[in-house]
């Protein structure tokens, strides 16, 4: 797989995770934008590196 494929997998993970979190998050004492940003960073890195290391032989 190429770097583009890994990046696309990271973006797909980001979109799914942020979308689900945005739909299901209740109003809590934390800032919603900070919550979504942290989910976005975590989801992208998770999707990217899972794809990257799964492609290694």
Domain span at residue 47 reads 3-54
Full pLDDT tens readout for the chain, 57 residues: 788 989 999 999 999 999 998 888 877 777 888 889 999 999 999 999 998 888 765
Task: Provide the phi-psi class of 40: left if phi over 0, else alpha when psi is between -120 and 50, else beta.
Answer: alpha
* CB contact set of 45 (below 8 Å; sequence gap of 6+): 10
- So what's the pLDDT on residue 57? 56
**How far apart, in whole angstroms, are the C-alpha atoms of residue 55 and residue 34?**
32
DSSP 9-37: HHHHHHHHHHHHHHHHPPP-SS-HHHHHH
Predicted model pTM: 0.78
Domain count, the chain: 1
């Amino acid at each position: 797989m190429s770097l583009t494929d890994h990046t696309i997998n990271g973006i797909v993970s980001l979109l799914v995770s942020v979308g689900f979190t945005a739909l299901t998050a209740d109003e809590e004492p934390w800032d919603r934008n900070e919550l979504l940003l942290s989910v976005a960073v975590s989801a992208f890195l998770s999707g990217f590196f899972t794809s990257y290391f799964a492609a290694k032989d």
